[in-house]
């Protein structure tokens, strides 16, 4: 069964909404510059022979991140999605995540993206739930493992403490704890739905389709719930190797993303605390879960300066301006490309999947009606 697609269920997602997260991000960066800027700050940034190499590595790592997601989608669809089709879905998915608050993300409409690329609504729902499960599983497994290697006192002892701003440091720690708790609860719910009680997963889908953008398709989602139960049973029957490959792609994707900041720092400065920087980014992304801004705009740049600034070897009075510039560069590499690519792809995809498709279906229906009318004339 499929959700009724007469009309455009994504009509409330407008490409021009990329302006909002860009404005927020630039406004926050500009404000921080206004507060922290010191003349001559950028003279501390050295452009050496390794700068271009490490900047290229940062871009390649982002490509690896997308390739991991694409391979995972191909695995979860049992190879029914080609590389090109999976690439299209991932780019649209990331675009939606980039223009919606981090707590919402693109998951709520990813079902429709996958469905319009050829899978039934029920199976699309099962695939999206599986991706969410694997993403959150990565977080809740990696976070405790990193705590075994990097002491909590070191992981959360940021530059905030050195300035005496313990209250803000404690607040960020609290946010990280809340974010991890939410992710852990989410994994428990999804695990229960995917592998123990598929009917509970159906309920979760119906809850998602109560969102304003999807509410008019809730009846179709209810019918698709029965398909979810069937496909969830299929997931339970998958061999361990299936889930190992899917989680391997997830691990490759997220790990590549977290090494981007390391590469950017290496492009300008000699650094050595790579594992700690990696762990700090994990905490940063957990905290971004509660960001109310589209794609974490503004909040992400701010947290970057507080969590990674201490690793930049420049004079304290120059550090503020330098770390803000690097935070902006980090977002240019890891965030803004999805806004641009999505703004280009989204209108074309909507036209192909909804406008042209509806026109084709309408023409086909008219031809079928004419054929039926002619048959009735023959037999009358």
**For every residue of the chain, which 3-state class applies, written as one string?**
CCCCCCCCCCCCCCHHHHHHHHHHHHHHHHHHHHHHCCCCHHHHCCCCCCHHHHHHHHHHHHHHHHHHHHHHHHHHCCCCCCHHHHHHHHHHHHHHHHCCECCCCCHHHHHHHHHHCCCCHHHHHHHHHHHHHHHHHHHHHHHHHHHHHCCHHHHCCCHHHHCCCHHHHHHHHHHHHHHHHHHHHHHHHHHHHHHHCHHHHHHHHHHHCCCCCCHHHHHHHHHHHHHHHHHHHHHHCCCHHHHHHHHHHHHHHHHHHHHHHHHHHHCCCCCCCHHHHHHHHHHHHHHHHHCCCECCCCHHHHHHHHHHHHHCCCCHHHHHHHHHHHHHHHHHHHCHHHHHHHHHHHHHHHHHHHHHHHHHHHHHHHHHHHHHHHHHHHHC
Q: Are 205 and 228 in contact (CB under 8 A)?
A: yes
Neighbouring C-beta atoms of residue 343, cutoff 10 Å: 18
Give the residue numbers spanning the domain of 198: 34-364
For residue 137, being part of any structural domain is answered with yes
For residue 8, being part of any structural domain is answered with no
For residue 192, being part of any structural domain is answered with yes
Q: What is the pLDDT of residue 82?
A: 94
- Among 81, 108, 11, 18, smallest CA distance to 344 is for 18
For residue 2, being part of any structural domain is answered with no
For residue 238, being part of any structural domain is answered with yes
For residue 21, being part of any structural domain is answered with no
For residue 376, being part of any structural domain is answered with no
Mean pLDDT split into 10-residue runs, the chain, 380 residues: 44 65 77 66 73 94 96 94 94 86 66 88 83 90 86 66 51 72 83 78 75 69 67 81 96 95 91 88 77 76 83 79 86 89 86 64 48 40
For residue 302, being part of any structural domain is answered with yes
The total domain count for the chain is: 1
């Amino acid at each position: 069964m499929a959700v009724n697609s007469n009309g455009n269920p994504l009509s409330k997602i407008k490409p021009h909404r990329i302006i909002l997260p860009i404005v927020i991000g630039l406004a926050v960066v500009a404000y921080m510059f206004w507060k922290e800027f010191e003349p001559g700050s950028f003279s501390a940034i050295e452009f050496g022979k390794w700068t271009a190499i490490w900047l290229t590595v940062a871009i390649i790592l982002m490509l690896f991140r997308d390739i991991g997601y694409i391979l995972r989608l191909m695995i979860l669809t049992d190879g029914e999605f080609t590389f090109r089709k999976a690439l299209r879905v991932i780019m649209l998915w990331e675009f939606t995540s980039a223009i919606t608050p981090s707590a919402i993300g693109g998951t709520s409409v990813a079902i429709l993206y996958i469905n319009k690329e050829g899978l039934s609504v029920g199976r699309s729902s099962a695939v999206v739930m599986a991706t969410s499960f694997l993403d959150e599983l990565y977080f809740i497994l990696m976070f405790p493992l990193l705590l075994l290697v990097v002491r909590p006192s070191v992981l959360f002892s940021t530059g905030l403490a050195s300035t005496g701003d313990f209250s803000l440091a404690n607040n960020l720690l609290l946010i990280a704890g809340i974010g991890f708790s939410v992710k852990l609860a989410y994994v428990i719910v999804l695990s229960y739905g995917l592998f123990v009680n598929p009917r509970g997963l159906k309920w979760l889908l119906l809850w998602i389709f109560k969102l304003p953008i999807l509410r008019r398709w809730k009846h179709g989602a209810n019918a698709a719930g029965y398909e979810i139960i069937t496909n969830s049973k299929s997931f339970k029957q998958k061999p361990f190797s299936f889930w190992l490959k899917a989680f391997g792609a997830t691990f490759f994707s997220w790990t590549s993303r977290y090494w981007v900041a390391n590469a950017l720092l290496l492009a300008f400065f000699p650094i050595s605390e790579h594992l700690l920087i990696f762990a700090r980014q994990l905490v940063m992304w957990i905290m971004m879960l509660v960001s109310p801004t589209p794609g974490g705009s503004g909040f992400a740049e701010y947290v970057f300066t507080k969590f990674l600034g201490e690793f930049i070897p420049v004079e304290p009075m120059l550090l503020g301006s330098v770390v803000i510039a690097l935070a902006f560069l980090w977002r240019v590499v890891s965030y803004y490309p999805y806004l641009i690519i999505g703004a280009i792809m989204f209108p074309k995809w909507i036209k192909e999947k909804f406008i042209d498709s509806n026109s084709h279906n309408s023409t086909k229906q008219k031809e079928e009606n004419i054929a039926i009318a002619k048959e009735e004339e023959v037999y009358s």
